[in-house]
Amino acid sequence: MKAIALTNVGNKRSMNQDFYYCSDEPVGILPNLYIVADGMGGHNAGDFASRFSVERFVNLIRESKERTPISAIEAALKTTNEELIAKAKTQREYEGMGTTFVMATLLSDGYLLIANIGDSRLYIVNDRIQQITEDHSLVGEMVRNGELKKDEARFHPQKNVVLRALSTRTVVSPDFYKIRVNRGDYILLCSDGLWEMVEEGELLKLVSEYEDVSDIAEKMVFMANENGGKDNITIILMKV
């Protein structure tokens, strides 16, 4: 399995505040590691938040003495969150910053372990497309409560209100998922710059029309920009 990672500033933003990490090789206790983070905050604060969180998390995983993947991830996220909050408190230019964080690692038993905070997403794509992660956002809550249809959420005026992210709470609360993946499945991690611009049906169509993972990822970025490119676009795509 080989992952392809792409990031693009989009058509409307002057700075790319997304950051990713993509390793098919082991990182500490994890057999591989894939992360997408979407930073929030004025000036370059969002850029710092996403980059710092990803780089610090990866280093903590490398150094971790924890005995299980989940405990290593939990401990690394806790420390990363605490250090990010400390920087936001001591440096005025970073005040109010935060970042989404979605990560995955494919374990040796064929299960995909996922941790998520915020509204970046992980999908499994085969003959259908399935959003695995839940959005920690205002519109995500409205969809789950039946107040809003999923398709309507993409255009809601408050679609960018994130309820849970790194550096926004002293106690970090990631959602964990462990799902079986099968040979031929595609795993897609992405920031909202992709899923807000491209409907799930269009993503599924691209996967069915193209064989090469690089071609699919490039077409996804192209389509997001063609449809407006209102935010930074980051994708990690792999075929099991």
What's the CA gap between 131 and 124, in Å, rounded?
A: 7
Higher-pLDDT residue of 142, 64: 64
What's the CA gap between 137 and 118, in Å, rounded?
A: 7
Q: How far is CA 187 from CA 95, 113, 124, 145, in A?
A: 34, 12, 5, 27
75, 29 Cβ separation under 8 angstroms:
no
What's the CA gap between 46 and 49, in Å, rounded?
A: 5
Res 82 pLDDT > 70: yes
For the whole prediction, is pTM greater than 0.75?
yes
Band of residue 14 on the pLDDT scale cut at 50, 70, 90: confident
What does the domain layout of the chain look like in residue ranges?
3-239
Res 190 pLDDT > 70: yes
What fold does the segment set 3-239 form as a domain?
Phosphatase 2c; domain 1 (3.60.40)
Band of residue 80 on the pLDDT scale cut at 50, 70, 90: very high
E strands, 94-174, where?
98-99, 101-106, 111-117, 121-125, 129-131
Mean pLDDT of 56-73: 98
Band of residue 154 on the pLDDT scale cut at 50, 70, 90: low
pLDDT tens digit sequence for 88-133: 998 888 988 999 999 999 999 999 999 999 999 999 999 999 999 9
Q: Which amino acid does the sequence have at 137? A: S
Higher-pLDDT residue of 225, 139: 225
Q: What is the mean pLDDT of the chain?
A: 92
Band of residue 164 on the pLDDT scale cut at 50, 70, 90: confident
Q: Tell me, what's the pLDDT at 21? A: 99
Q: Tell me, what's the pLDDT at 158? A: 64
Most trustworthy range by pLDDT among 40-49, 161-170, 183-192? 183-192
Q: Which amino acid does the sequence have at 128? A: R
What's the CA gap between 107 and 16, in Å, rounded?
A: 31
